[in-house]
Amino acid sequence: MPAITLVGAQWGDEGKGKATDLVGDRVDYVVRYQGGNNAGHTVVIGDQKYALHLLPSGILSPNVVPVIANGVVIDPGVLMEELAGLQARGVDTSRLLISANAHLIMPYHRALDKVSERFLGKGRIGTTGRGIGPTYADKVSRQGVRVQDMFDPKILRKKIELAIHDKNQLLTKVYNRRALEAEPIIEEYLGYAEQLRPYVADTALLLNKALDEGKTVYLEGSQGTLLDIDHGTYPFVTSSSPTSGGAAAGSGIGPTRITKVVGILKAYTTRVGSGPFPTELLDEQGEWLRKQGHEYGVTTGRDRRCGWFDAPIARYATRINGITDFFLTKLDVLTGLDRIPVCVAYEVDGVRHDEIPMTQTDFHHAKPVYEYLDGWSEDITGARSFDELPGNAQAYVRTLEEMAGAPVSAIGVGPGRDQTLELRSLV
């Protein structure tokens, strides 16, 4: 059986948590392959609402094995808190598996994330402040601390002492902050070792074996295509690869085993943090979208920046990820508009660009070229099949599908588990 990847097609918060939950009773494993607790994935089940940051959304599905794979960065304190929070609500978290190769977010990563942002001032990225960037930086420069290091106290001590020596130079001499002490950090992380030990496994081996046995593995991306370190709006990106290419490296599953890539696409666009956003609405229309769509960050509580649908971005996501199916979310949010602007191209210094411009400078100056589609006023939150949507809502979906270059296989008409029209099975 196949491995299926789910990716955010825009700047994150497209509704990935809901999409994963939708297939929770049809898959055997749900795997987070990158990012960390910068993510905020919402799952609504009946009158219960869950916000997941580090744990795969599949943890809420009773028959799924949730996996935190090697590509993820783990803040162990946050992980313990998130597990305790779910356990208190009656969720069985005992099936969780954590890769021994995943890297650990350390207190100095969080400290450096915050001070470097402050230092950048107006040029800041607007990170979530969770230490994600500095942790991946240490991974790449081969100074990272991995989950498995917690089980070898000598190695853990050596790594932390070395790192602290370096980081304290930065914290005190560059950023004028207080130095951190190694000892309490070593003690803290040795404590986590015992708590996490039962969950830790060779997850790449287990996932490949599961595929050999005919099980279905669902790779749940966090963030989105335009936040990808290679393919996003660099430097206003996250420090990992949420795009489908990252799913193989981040989980240890070979790309030939991934047979489907589902892109989660909001019926309009949002973004949190700094960086270019051509269709952003800085007026009352943006405020209207924010209110209608409850566009407030799950992780940091920040207002999300809101704008109209951007077709070149959707096409870009199709291309970069090899998207086979789209899940178009939040169509219900657009109800009540007479006509809906859709960005079909950009204009940069008087020149039309049908695709995302090659350089970031041009993208910063890109002005959206809009086409206007007819809106609808009927409440669609109770619709359960495509035919039940008003004609103009159907036409909106079909037009977006054509522009995006891959079929829309599911449509979200509300946050609830059942508020989904599945045109073709996502799994």
Residues near ligand IMO (CB under 6 A) are: 8, 11-13, 38-41, 125-128, 130, 132-133, 222-224, 227, 238-239, 272-273
Q: Is 41 a catalytic residue?
A: yes
Which CB, 41 or 159, lies closer to ligand GDP? 41
**Catalytic residue selected from 21, 28, 41, 138:** 41
The interface with ligand GDP within residues 298-317 (CB under 6 A) comprises 298
Q: Is 231 a catalytic residue?
A: no
Pick from ligand GDP, ligand IMO, Mg ion, none: which does 127 bind, CB < 5 to 8 A by kind?
A: ligand IMO
| Interaction of residue 45 with ligand GDP, rule CB under 6 A | no
Segment contacting ligand GDP by CB under 6 A, of 73-81, 246-254, 401-409, 411-419: 411-419
| Interaction of residue 53 with ligand GDP, rule CB under 6 A | no
Binding residue (CB under 6 A) for ligand GDP from 58, 263, 273, 412: 412
Separation between Cα atoms, residue 243 and residue 263, nearest integer Å: 10
Q: What track of x and - describes contact with ligand GDP for positions 321 through 340 (by CB under 6 A)?
A: --------xx-xx-------
The size of the interface with ligand GDP (CB under 6 A), counted in residues, is 22
| Interaction of residue 134 with Mg ion, rule CB under 5 A | no
Separation between Cα atoms, residue 322 and residue 174, nearest integer Å: 43
Which CB, 20 or 216, lies closer to ligand IMO? 20
Binding site residue list for Mg(2+): 13, 40
Which CB, 32 or 146, lies closer to Mg ion? 32
Binding residue (CB under 6 A) for ligand GDP from 9, 17, 72, 237: 17
Pick from ligand IMO, ligand GDP, Mg ion, none: which does 321 bind, CB < 5 to 8 A by kind?
A: none
Q: Would you tell me which residues interact with ligand GDP (CB under 6 A)?
A: 8, 12-18, 40-42, 44, 294, 298, 329-330, 332-333, 412-415
Q: Catalogue the active-site residues.
A: 13, 41, 139
